[in-house]
């Protein structure tokens, strides 16, 4: 009985440690320009973010398509490094107001997107 109790305690401790580890975000987003902008039809603007990789593995991030908003290039994040994400906003191609930040997807993962504001 003591051995079973010790095994259960060890299992719960391990699960708690996994839960604590999972709470750390993979990426941190730091806007370098204003993220609340108004872009008139026929005009364009850019929003720039620095993205920090908290993981020990490199990542390549691509933005989910939003009408009128495009990523200039994939964001290549080295392990524990950073990259610059530049987003172009084309006022003529926007379809109404856009609320919130872009959604980024790690290439090779599929359709799992990460949102930031």
Residue 67 has pLDDT above 80, yes or no: yes
CATH T-level fold of 25-115: Immunoglobulin-like (2.60.40)
Mean pLDDT of 38-60: 94
Domain residue ranges of the chain, discontinuous segments joined by +: 25-115
Structure tokens at 94: 């926007």
> What's the angle, vertex CA 38, arms to CA 40 and CA 32, rounded to 5?
130
Q: 45 forms bridges with which residues in the sheet?
A: 89
pLDDT value of position 15: 47
Range from 13-17, 23-27, 28-32, 76-80 carrying the lowest mean pLDDT? 13-17
Chain center to CA of 87: 13
Give pTM, 2 decimals: 0.71
């Amino acid at each position: 009985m003591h051995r079973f109790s010790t095994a259960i305690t060890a299992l719960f401790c391990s699960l708690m440690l996994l839960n604590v580890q999972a709470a750390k975000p993979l990426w941190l987003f730091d806007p370098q320009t204003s993220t609340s902008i108004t872009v008139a039809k026929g005009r364009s603007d850019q929003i720039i973010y620095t993205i920090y990789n908290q993981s020990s593995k490199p990542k390549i991030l691509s933005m989910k398509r939003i009408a009128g908003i495009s990523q200039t290039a994939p964001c290549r994040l080295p392990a524990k490094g950073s990259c610059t994400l530049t987003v172009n906003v084309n006022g003529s191609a926007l379809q109404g107001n856009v609320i919130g930040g872009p959604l980024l997807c790690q290439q090779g993962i599929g359709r799992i997107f990460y949102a930031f504001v």
